[in-house]
Amino acid sequence: MLKKYVYSVMGFMLISLQSIHAELPQDSRRPGGIAVIPLGQEIKNVRFNQQNILISNENTQRYAILGIPLNTPIGTLKLETNTQPIQIKIKPYAYAEQHINVKNQDYVNPSDAQLTRYANEAKVQNDVYSSFTPSTWQALPHFIRPTLGQFSNSFGRKRFFNGEERAPHSGLDIPAPIGQKVVAPADGIVVQTGDYFFNGKTVLIDHGQGLISMFCHLSKIEVKQGQHIRQGEVLGLVGKTGRVTGPHLHWGMSLNNARVDPQLFLRP
């Protein structure tokens, strides 16, 4: 009788442990990665570079979920807390190089007017990335793929346009046909829509606590700024607007204003 009870409790514990961890992003402590840090009871708040960090409450355990910027040096990274600082180790990761030849010179060497336009657009997007709104959830919800399609690991690639080095690729490219549906990977609020110089038609969704998703190069936007969106709801259609070599979805994820690998939000 007791044995049976113990086994059923153990079975329950295994199931609950699995469901707890299934919702957390994968821990990958590299530039462009994510650190999932269990917090002791005494830690009330965690900050990195004066920014708030996302906290997920998984039943009784709290986790700080840190986005590690792509330009983070290898070595020890320190997080401030209300007690002792937390130190984590950042490991190297060999991102691939990508050499692209773009025919439209405007995208390689933009004019002053185009650069001004781009600077304004970048500021709007950075304001969104550095925002920190309260979340409607206690435990970070799980994310689904925003569109169908096979993809390779394109996040973090060092990019050269016609031989000139540019910023590393800050999202994941999913090749897909024009007109294919793009859905919200999790619930959130549409915080920005626009037609941008490099990114083309773009939607940004705020999922709360500094977690923002971004969808670029759309052929059509089907949501409005300020709108609440549920996981799986259509936000737009795949396209090839902006600086692209072919139709695909560029899916970006930003956490505490750090662009991180979207694959870490999907179940491996």
Both tokens of 237, joined, read 């259609």
In the chain, the N- to C-terminal Cα span, in Å, equals: 38
> From CA 198, how far away is CA 115, in angstroms rounded?
10
The reply on whether position 201 binds Zn ion by CB under 5 A is: no
> From CA 160, how far away is CA 181, in angstroms rounded?
30
Q: Report in angstroms how near the CB of residue 246 gets to Zn ion at its nearest.
A: 11
Q: Report in angstroms how near the CB of residue 54 gets to Zn ion at its nearest.
A: 24
Closer residue to Zn ion, CB minimum distance, 90 or 178: 178
Show the 3-state SS of 41-110.
CCCCCEEECCEECEEEEECCEEEEEEECCCCCCCEEEEEEECCCCEEEEECCCCCCEEEECCCCHHHHCC
Q: Report in angstroms how near the CB of residue 100 gets to Zn ion at its nearest.
A: 11
Q: Report in angstroms how near the CB of residue 68 gets to Zn ion at its nearest.
A: 19
Specify the stretch interacting with Zn ion by CB under 5 A; choose among 5-13, 26-34, 124-132, 245-253: 245-253
The reply on whether position 173 binds Zn ion by CB under 5 A is: yes
Q: Report in angstroms how near the CB of residue 157 gets to Zn ion at its nearest.
A: 9
Specify the stretch interacting with Zn ion by CB under 5 A; choose among 52-60, 101-109, 165-173, 235-243: 165-173
The answer to whether 196 touches 242, Cβ cutoff 8 Å, is yes
Q: Report in angstroms how near the CB of residue 215 gets to Zn ion at its nearest.
A: 11
Closer residue to Zn ion, CB minimum distance, 29 or 250: 250
Specify the stretch interacting with Zn ion by CB under 5 A; choose among 24-32, 43-51, 144-152, 243-251: 243-251
The reply on whether position 217 binds Zn ion by CB under 5 A is: no
Out of 186, 250, 264, 265, point to the residue binding Zn ion (CB under 5 A): 250
Instruction: Using CB positions, name the residue nearest to Zn ion.
Output: 250
Specify the stretch interacting with Zn ion by CB under 5 A; choose among 97-105, 155-163, 173-181, 183-191: 173-181
* 237: enclosing H helix or E strand: strand 234-237
Closer residue to Zn ion, CB minimum distance, 173 or 187: 173
The answer to whether 219 touches 178, Cβ cutoff 8 Å, is yes
Q: Report in angstroms how near the CB of residue 96 gets to Zn ion at its nearest.
A: 13
Specify the stretch interacting with Zn ion by CB under 5 A; choose among 25-33, 63-71, 169-177, 257-265: 169-177
The answer to whether 145 touches 266, Cβ cutoff 8 Å, is yes
Residues 184, 185, 191, 195: is their CA dihedral positive or negative?
negative
- Residue of 184, 208, 230 whose CA lies nearest to 65: 208
Q: Report in angstroms how near the CB of residue 2 gets to Zn ion at its nearest.
A: 58
Specify the stretch interacting with Zn ion by CB under 5 A; choose among 134-142, 158-166, 232-240, 248-256: 248-256
- Residue of 89, 101, 103, 255 whose CA lies nearest to 171: 255
Q: Which residues bind Zn ion (CB under 5 A)?
A: 171, 173, 250
